Amino acid sequence: MIIDQLFKQFNKTKVLVLGDVMIDAYFYGSVSRISPEAPVPIVNLKRKEQRLGGAANVALNLKSLGAEPIICSIKGNDADGAALKALCKQNGLVVDALINDYNRQTTVKTRVIGNNHQLLRIDEEETKDIDASIEDLVYEAVKSLISEIDVLIFQDYNKGLLTSGLIHRVISLCQQHNVPMVVDPKFTNFFEYQGVTLFKPNKKELLQAENISEVLSVAEVKAVAEEVRIKLKAAKVMTTLSEDGVIILSDEGVIHLPAHSRKIVDVSGAGDSVLSVAALCVAAGVSDELTAALSNLAGGIVCEQIGVVPIDKDLLLGEAMELNVASGY
């Protein structure tokens, strides 16, 4: 299969995205003076913007790649929750499994941008675990969709949706239905994702989970990643290494692909793009090398744009064909 055929196959892929959704808000303005009240810049506000973030941005990436994403998550019964749902609908995302939690607020991350530089971020959120009743509703939503999907993504931001109980129940359900699972973990439930198909921490998350604070070589990081893979009984572990590229480990061995030279503007959302491409590659059953190569390209492309933005499918396809990454298929 050549690369353009693989990208056409993305169009037939149905993906359930189970994870924390949020609004990424932006205040854009200019800075020309310091406040007389405190030593902080005064931002002359020019415009405001709201975008989908967290698991919703993963869904946007999947949709941009031509797939059919379904969001399964929770939101508050508040104005921000209504805005989140409206943003999903505006972007053509299915919201049937977006559940109201009347006991929490909708997560919003607001970034203040002055003269094209981020000056401040304000987080409005609750991170306590969801109640058992909400967990049951989320699980039943997943159960109702499990026979329709080609792959399931756990997108964990430690905002309380993905409790250890829900994780275990959904993994068991996926295993019963032979649905591959791809995980973007955070620290709290890092080792709860037992037996998944592809586990994708970044380097910082990987080392934090193993309580490693010293600087490691790429070879040493590979060894840590293999230890984690064994602990998780995961089929594959893929770890992004920033300027050192990406590694992917499985029973077939270890692959390390270097990063491509880029003008890095903003790394926000790069992990979501990497995860989305990796999940579609897992669903398609492509080689580890091609999974790593396409995911690596996707992360680099979005880093060249300011803010959290989904991957451009045509741009990704163009670079992939130019670099002949299909040789790893």
Considering only CA atoms, which of 2, 226, 52 is closest in space to residue 155? 52
The CA-atom distances, in angstroms, between 131 and each of 128, 136, 160, 193 are 9, 9, 9, 20
What is the token pair recorded at 158?
Answer: 């430690």
Q: Which of 80, 184, 266, 272 is catalytic?
A: 272
**Residue spans of alpha helices (H) in the chain:** 3-10, 55-64, 79-90, 132-145, 164-176, 203-209, 218-232, 270-284, 288-302, 313-322
Residue partners of 180: CB distance under 8 A and separation at least 6: 150, 151, 152, 174, 197, 198, 282, 283
Q: How far apart are the first and last CA of the chain?
A: 8
d(CA 134, CA 103): 10
- Beta-bridge mates of residue 30: 44
What is the token pair recorded at 156?
Answer: 């964990």
Considering only CA atoms, which of 167, 133, 144 is closest in space to residue 70? 144
| Catalytic residue check, 272 | yes
- Active site amino acids: 272
